[in-house]
Structure 1
Amino acid sequence: MTIPTLTTARLVLRPPVYADFEAYAALWASPRSAYMGGPHERTRAWGWFCHDIALWHLFGHGALMIELKSNGECVGQVGINDGPLFQEKELGWLLYAGHEGQGYATEAAGALRDWAFKDRKLPTLVSYCDAANVRSIAVAQKLGAVLDPDAPRQDPEDLVFRHRH
């Protein structure tokens, strides 16, 4: 499976490489990961990092790193999660500290969502949001996702936003 590279007006969404792991592990070790079940130790972050890449080979979709076109800086990740850890195919995003509030998550997630609907022919995606994560909820809403109170979820406290083609 060839992992795609997607581009938007400001971003390059590219396959993860080993050099991306340090910033990724730092995010998982920080309080910023609390909305995603963290903080987690480095070995757990490595498991998630490998999971994000393996999804491409197992399901034909997975995670892409978010890189700024202007300077090549990696500012986060967007992905389609799948497998036994997720109730449904999940469109998720994360940004590294200092890169919030600039529309990067919305731009990246919108591009990956559109790719999933067009190229992978997925009929729907969900985004699981911690009820206290107002920024993530805002991204889901900006993308046009609607709250689906009947959607299955592993964490009963999560809000589930549904994206439809």
Structure 2
Amino acid sequence: MTNIPTLETERLRLRAPRFADWPDYLAFLASPRAQFMGGPHTPDTAWSYFSNDVAQWQLFGHGALMLEDKKDGAVLGQVALCKGPLFPELELGWFLYEGAEGHGYAIEAAAAMLAWGFTAREEQSIVSYIDPENRRSISLAKRLGASLDETAQRPHPATLVYRHPRA
């Protein structure tokens, strides 16, 4: 089994997904909040996503981590480095559960995962695939220092590709 890291930030613990995370994960993917991830999704599709997020650790040495508030243990969302056969490049992605936005959790978690990818994994390039209507994620990618790469391959023709600079 691949050693899944636990990353710590000032306020967050980024840890491996657990089956106990499934109900909130399903609720997110089944809701309109998942619109920029092709949702809302059925439970079958959501389970495939959840399983994929976990399996990528075993198959590729990267995958998803859940955002856990250090104060109270509440799970706030997810951050991931994923590739697999469906994406042309390694992707940094994130989402927050309802009520977790506006507190800086996404940038805190994404910056930690990005740093881990460039240091522990020694990645040379990391991108974020973003729906052109997802203004909040575009803004976050830019705040992380990413810039639009119009020449990059993309998983879907309409998807925007933001390339993160190597620190």
**TM class, shorter-length:** over 0.9
Structure 1 residue 20: Cα displacement: 0.1
Query: In 1, Cα distance between the equivalents of 2:125 and 2:155?
Result: 18
Query: In 1, Cα distance between the equivalents of 2:83 and 2:138?
Result: 20
Report how many residues are paired: 165
Whether the 8 Å CA contact 1:123–1:164 is kept in 2: the answer is: no
- Code of the aligned partner of 2:78: Q
**Structure 2 residue aligned with 1:127:** 128
Structure 1 residue 164: Cα displacement: 2.3
Determine if the alignment matches structure 1 residue 23 to structure 2 residue 24: yes
Structure 1 residue 102: Cα displacement: 1.2
Runs ≥4 residues deviating over 4 A: none
**Structure 1 residue aligned with 2:140:** 139
Q: TM-score normalised to the size of structure 2?
A: 0.97
**Structure 2 residue aligned with 1:91:** 92
**Structure 2 residue aligned with 1:110:** 111
- Code of the aligned partner of 1:66: L
Query: In 1, Cα distance between the equivalents of 2:150 and 2:103?
Result: 29
**Structure 1 residue aligned with 2:48:** 47
Query: In 1, Cα distance between the equivalents of 2:49 and 2:97?
Result: 16
**Structure 1 residue aligned with 2:35:** 34
**Which deviations, in whole Å up to 9, do the C-alpha atoms of 1:80-111 show, x marking residues without a partner?**
11111111110000100111111111110100
Structure 1 residue 162: Cα displacement: 0.3
Query: In 1, Cα distance between the equivalents of 2:102 and 2:51?
Result: 28
Determine if the alignment matches structure 1 residue 69 to structure 2 residue 70: yes
Q: TM-score normalised to the size of structure 1?
A: 0.98
Q: What is the aligned-residue identity percentage?
A: 53
Structure 1 unpaired stretches of 5+: none
Query: In 2, Cα distance between the equivalents of 1:28 and 1:143?
Result: 25
Whether the 8 Å CA contact 1:25–1:45 is kept in 2: the answer is: yes
Residue 84 of structure 1 aligns to a residue whose secondary structure is helix
Residue 25 of structure 1 aligns to a residue whose secondary structure is helix
Please tell me the root mean square deviation across aligned C-alpha atoms, in Å. Answer: 0.7
